[in-house]
Amino acid sequence: MIAIFGHGFGLYGHLPALAELGHDIYVPLRYRPAFDERAELETYRSTVHFIDDEATLLSKVKLAVLVRRPADNEAIARQAAATSLPPQLVIEKPLATTPQAALALVSTLRGAGVRYATPYLLEYCNWARDCKHMIATGQGVETTLDWSFNSPKTTESWKAKPEDGGGPLNYYFIHLIALAGFLLGDHRLVECWTKLEDRGCEIGMAAVSGAHRFAATFCTGMADSNFSVAIDGVTAYNAETPFGDVPRRGDRDPRINVLKRFYASEVFCKDADPVATERGRQTLKCWAEVVGRLRHENTRADQ
């Protein structure tokens, strides 16, 4: 049995991915109105089971997919660790409201023998696999990535609040931190920065591994969304988002395809991939380092 906790991306992202992989999904009954509102989910209705007894659902399944707010996900994951039920979790990023809390949670899960995986989805895109191959075969020495995101200035969602685990760094830029680990393997953070502008902010980082350098920037408040990757100045990918065009409401979310790759390679496999598991921990450590460096730079700037 597989349960999903989260009625947003949990329903229109993770649920279709799991259903298309041939699984039935159990969700709390209170998610039914959110499910019914999305016409594109109708095709999956026969695979979905709405459960009224939400309190015991966690202990009855083999895999729980946690797609709620970071604080909620952390609380559910700690409950699972306390009982070792379920034995496997998928926890959306960020795992907790701070990198320190996320690292502590990972340690608790490991101690309890509960397997977990986090879908940092960029590495499952075709362009990322192509870039990794080019880097591994010595076809480039510098990767540059620019991600511009057209976002509203203010929102009441937790995704806009750093104290809740949201904000550009915790919610979006962590994808680029994870991508650096995927492309470079063992690497060293050499620079990170942030700039506040009238319409939004810019966050950037540079990391090196051997002769290769990875530089990435994420900008909010832009007039148009765009995601581009270049190797030695030659464009390797350029589109509205890392996953293609922005879908209209009612369309199939393009992230479903990369989620299916994630589940096939990281979740529904006999044994956990030790390389991927360690890379997940390194992502959290690098997230902590970036947060610490930016906090230090901001403190110096205020003096």
Q: What is the DSSP string of 256-280?
A: HHHHHHHIIIIISSSS--HHHHHHH
Helix axes 274-302, 99-112, angle to 10 degrees: 160
Cβ count within 10 A of residue 16: 23
pTM value > 0.85: yes
Q: Is the pLDDT of residue 207 over 90?
A: yes
221 shares its domain with 169 = yes
Tokens in use for 31? Answer: 């998610």
The pLDDT-based confidence of 193 (bands split at 50, 70, 90) is very high
Q: Is the pLDDT of residue 203 over 70?
A: yes
The CATH number that applies at residue 81 is 3.40.50.720
- Identify whether the C-beta of residue 276 lies closer than 8 Å to the C-beta of residue 266: yes
Cβ count within 10 A of residue 21: 14
110 shares its domain with 229 = no
The pLDDT-based confidence of 179 (bands split at 50, 70, 90) is very high
- Of the candidate ranges 8-17, 159-168, 207-216, 290-299, the one whose mean pLDDT is the lowest: 290-299
The pLDDT-based confidence of 153 (bands split at 50, 70, 90) is low
What total number of domains does the chain contain?
Answer: 2
Residues 13-70 pLDDT 10s: 999 999 999 999 999 999 999 999 999 999 999 999 999 988 889 999 999 999 999 9
Helix axes 174-184, 274-302, angle to 10 degrees: 130
The pLDDT-based confidence of 298 (bands split at 50, 70, 90) is low
Mean pLDDT of the chain: 92
270 shares its domain with 156 = yes
Residue 8 has phi, psi (to 5 degrees) of -100, -105
Domain with 245 in it: 124-302
181 shares its domain with 108 = no
146 shares its domain with 32 = no
**pLDDT score for 303:** 44
